[in-house]
Every structure is written in structure tokens, then in C-alpha cells.
Amino acid sequence: MGNLERNVSNILKTIKMVVHLDKVVLPTTLIVSVINAVVPLVIVLGNTAIINAIVQGNLFHAKSMTITVYAVSIGMSIISSLVQKNSSTHAVRANELLRISIHEAWEKASFQSLVTAKYFSKMMKSESSFRYSGGITVFCHQIQSLVNGLVTVIGSLGLLIWLSAVGFLSSSLMTVATMTTLLLLLVCEILLLKVFQHLTNRNITLFASLMAIERKMNYFLMSIVNKYEILKSVKMWGTAELIQERYLASWKRERKSNHELVWNDYLSQIVAALMTTNIVIWLFGLVLLKIHTGLLPVGQLNTLFGGIVQISTAIATMTSTWQRTLRFQNQMTYVNDILQEKTIAGPESNLGKEHPALKEHNVISFDHVSFGYDSDSEVIHDLSFNFEFSGISVIIGENGSGKTTLVKLMLGLLQPTHGRISLNGQDI
């Protein structure tokens, strides 16, 4: 239940974000979902009434029911198409607004945030994840499929429950048969649902691993192979073979993960089909018994099979869509990280502040200055000195010792986490 609650919570966060971007897209998506789910159920019930009228010899009633049922279905389908077009337009608009929001979040980040490898990694992940996920347009299609399937399952289950409840107390035989059928059906469905839940969790794990491997391979292709300076270094130091070995190892892991993901999807579809088959087997026997005893007319067989077909289609669609939605949420995590990133206060927030005036003799003073790009480690710790502007000065140190960071602190591009930096006694 913990995973389910977390997944639902993440989906609700994305829904809240979509509503913030565009208030029309989700309501229209829900309207289309409900209409598309109701139309097949209307046809199933209409066909049942038509069959019963024909069996009873009432052909006039059968003709009028045929015209009414299909006229209503066509009218609802036309309305659904019009609303779908409006929904798609707003989804594209929301998608572009989200893209703009991501880039605006990058622009609002302070220099002190941008120079950290952690934030730069978030930027790259948010951009690639937005492309991988497909954005708001794909999310709206997923929500539409899930709601459509949910409404279909609820409506079809209502029909099947009604078929099961008819004549429940008419005889002790019918009571026992109904209770036994429903109990066996429920036990089998719970077992199959447990298997499907395990496959879904495995699916998400495999997909997350696959995306991590692809990011590594993309980094190799874009940042190493396509850069002349790096290729020269690779040739100079003779590391080509080592790099190729690591790339091939990543490629093999990606191929293995892809293979496992395909098999996982295949097994998930089999389990979903078994869940539907389980319903068909038990309820078909129960309805046949009720028709044989005269409790139900023959036309209700159409209701049974129509309801089962709708449930099987909806469950198959919902299972695959649910897994794709969880994959989408996994990718959108990086987008949400960027949008929720708190901007670190930097010199950009003090643009209107008066800068220290230069004098004939200028001195930069560091008073117990400490600085770290993140809270886990410090690049500079408790540093104090006076730096006079006279002649040519050189800062010497090993790679990674903090030379560049020191200059950025002097220029005011970075702000110390502790201590004070001043020019001629005035804070920078």
C-alpha cells in the first residue's frame, strides 16, 4: 500500500501542476473519458433490449430501440470528438507553458546554484526527462485512458453484479451457487492481482534503471565522442580501449534491461488476460444456470458477454496505461525538482546595492571565510587574509584546491557560507 499511496500522491501533484498551467485541459479530458466509457455500455444494454424484443416477437419495439440506441450513441460520439479536439489544443498549450516554466526556473537560479554540479545535473535531467516523458500531452492521454477504464469497469461490474444478484434468494441451490461462484472468483482475482502488483513494481524498477543507463550512454556520445579536445586527450593518454570497454558494458546492461522490460510487459498482459478469463469462466456458468431455471431471459447473455468484453478491454488498457503513467511520474520527478528548487540568495538579489568605491590603495579582506557548494563539504574553510591590489599577484595551488572558487568569492559571484569578505572595509 505504501508504493500505491506514494504513486497516487505523485500523480495528484502532477494533476495539480497541470491545473495550474491550464484550467480547461483536465475537465475536458475527464468529460471525454466518461462519454467514451458510457457509449459502449449504452450499446450493450440497447442490444440486450433489442434481442429480448426479437425473442418475444415484438419487432416494432426492436426497430424503435435500434434507432434510439444508435442515434444516442452517435450523438455522444460526436460530442466526445468535439470536446477531445478542444482538450488536445489546451494540452499542447499546457505543454509549452511547462517547457517555459522549466527554462524560467533555470534563469531564476542564482549563479551560486548554477555552478554546482548537483544543480547542473538536475537541469540536464529535467530537460531529457521532459523529452522522454512526452510532457503534458502524454499525461492527459494517460489520465483519459485510466478514467475511461475505471468508469467502464465500474459500469460493467454493476451489470455483472446485477446478473449475479437476480434470483439470489429464489432457492437454496441458487443461493449456494451464487455464493460459491463469487467466493472462488474473488480468491482467484486477489491472487492474480498480487502477481500483477509485483510485475508492476518490477516494471518501474527496470524502467528507472534503463533511463539511468541511457543517460550515461548519451553523456558518452554527446560529451566525449563529439568533442575534439577530449578525443585528443583520449588518444594522448591511450584510454580509448578502457572507454570503449565501459561503453560496451553499459550497452550490454541496457540490452539486458530492455529484454527484461519487454518480458515483464508480456507477463503483465498475460496476467491481465487471466484476470478477465477468471471472471468469464465463473460468471458464464452462473448466468447459464439462471437462464436454465428461467430467472433471466436469453438476451441477458449479451449483457454478460458485453460487460465482460468491456471489463477485459478496460483492464488491459488500464494495466498498460498505469505502468506507463508510473514511468511518466518517474521522469517528471526531475522536472518537479527543478520547479520546486529554492533559489539560493546570491549577488543577483543585490543588483541595486551600491558597490564599494575604489581608492588609490585597495585591499580585499577575508575574515574567517568558509564556503561549500553544498552542505556536505566545504571547499574553503575558515580562511583569513588581506589581498592588496599592487603589482601582479598569482594564486597557486593543486587542482581542486579552490583557486577558481576563491576568485569568484573575490568578484562577488559567490557568497560565503560563513565569514565576511570586504573591499576597503565595505562588504562585497
Domain-located, residue 367:
yes
Q: What is the rounded distance in angstroms from the CA atom of residue 121 to the CA atom of residue 118?
A: 5
Domain-located, residue 290:
no
CA distances from 225 to 115, 247, 255 (A): 24, 11, 21
Domain-located, residue 188:
no
Report the Cα 379 to chain-centroid distance in Å: 37
Q: Quick one: cell of 81?
A: 470528438
Domain coverage including residue 85? 2-166+296-339
Q: Quick one: cell of 304?
A: 454478460
Same-domain status, 21 and 81 = yes
Q: What is the rounded distance in angstroms from the CA atom of residue 251 to the CA atom of residue 98?
A: 32
Type and span of the H or E element at 28: helix 25-55
Tell me, what's the pLDDT at 347?
Answer: 46
Domain-located, residue 225:
no
Same-domain status, 310 and 392 = no
Domain count across the chain: 2
Q: What is the rounded distance in angstroms from the CA atom of residue 339 to the CA atom of residue 331?
A: 14
Residues 65/299, Cβ–Cβ less than 8 Å: no
Tell me how crowded residue 19 is: count the other CB atoms within 10 A of its CB: 14
Sheet bearing 380-388, strands edge to edge: 380-388, 363-371, 418-423, 426-427
Tell me, what's the pLDDT at 345?
Answer: 46
Q: What is the rounded distance in angstroms from the CA atom of residue 302 to the CA atom of residue 40?
A: 13
Q: What is the rounded distance in angstroms from the CA atom of residue 303 to the CA atom of residue 307?
A: 6
Give the HSE-up count for residue 311: Cα atoms under 13 Å, Cβ half-sphere: 24
Domain-located, residue 115:
yes
Handedness of CA 307, 312, 316, 322 (dihedral sign): positive
Q: What is the rounded distance in angstroms from the CA atom of residue 104 to the CA atom of residue 43?
A: 49
Tell me, what's the pLDDT at 341?
Answer: 64
- pLDDT, one tens digit for every residue, the chain (428 residues): 566 777 788 888 888 888 888 999 999 999 999 999 999 999 999 999 999 889 888 888 889 999 999 999 999 999 999 999 999 999 999 888 888 888 887 777 766 666 666 676 677 767 666 666 678 888 899 999 999 999 999 998 888 888 888 887 778 888 888 889 889 988 998 999 899 888 888 888 888 788 778 777 777 766 666 666 677 777 777 777 877 788 788 888 888 888 888 898 889 888 888 887 888 788 888 888 888 888 888 888 888 888 888 887 888 788 778 878 877 777 777 777 777 765 544 444 454 456 667 777 788 888 989 888 776 678 888 888 888 877 777 888 887 778 888 888 888 778 888 888 888 878 87
Running DSSP on this structure, what letter comes out for residue 78? H
Domain-located, residue 253:
no
Q: Quick one: cell of 133?
A: 516523458
Residue 384 has φ and ψ, to the nearest 5°, of -135, 130
Running DSSP on this structure, what letter comes out for residue 222? I
Domain-located, residue 249:
no
Q: Quick one: cell of 167?
A: 434470483
CATH of the domain at 362: 3.40.50.300
Tell me, what's the pLDDT at 111?
Answer: 66
Tell me, what's the pLDDT at 346?
Answer: 47
Same-domain status, 312 and 353 = no
Domain-located, residue 268:
no
Residues 163/303, Cβ–Cβ less than 8 Å: yes
- Sequence-separated (6 or more) residues with CB below 8 Å from residue 208: 330
Tell me, what's the pLDDT at 168?
Answer: 79
Q: What is the pTM of this model?
A: 0.64
Tell me, what's the pLDDT at 223?
Answer: 66
Give the HSE-up count for residue 59: Cα atoms under 13 Å, Cβ half-sphere: 0
Type and span of the H or E element at 394: none
Same-domain status, 331 and 353 = no
